Structure formats: C-alpha cells, structure tokens
Amino acid sequence: LMQAAGFKRVIIETVGTGQAETEIAGLADTVVLVLVPGLGDDIQLM
C-alpha cells in the first residue's frame, strides 16, 4: 500500500523488545533491533 502511494522507504516501529513482533520480519525487507545498553537479558541477545 505504501509503495503504491509512492513511498520508497517505510519505517515501522513495534512495541516491546522483539519477542512478540517477529511477524514483521516476514513482511519487511530489512529488520533492525535497537536495544538500550544494560537493558534486557542474555536470551534477548541471542
């Protein structure tokens, strides 16, 4: 839809820390995970 409207790049921000937002990976060409140093745990690092 956004491509049809002429947008070349669309940035989508999801809530949370990535556990429940894995569905976006199937829709996006590129996925970036940004974490604040010191937050999260070792499992999130994997």
Domain regions of the chain by residue span: 1-46
- Band (42; pLDDT cuts 50, 70, 90): low
**pTM, entire model:** 0.47
pLDDT of residue 32: 82
pLDDT digits (tens, 9 = 90+) for 7-34: 888 888 877 665 566 777 788 888 887 7
- Write down the number of H helices and E strands in the chain: 1, 0
DSSP H helices, 1-46, are 42-45
Computed on alpha carbons and rounded to an integer, the radius of gyration of the chain in Å comes to 13
Return the pLDDT at 26.
82
CA 27 to chain centroid: 10
Q: Which two structure tokens, joined as six digits, stand for 28?
A: 């996006």
Q: In the structure, what pLDDT confidence band is assigned to residue 44 with cuts at 50, 70 and 90?
A: low
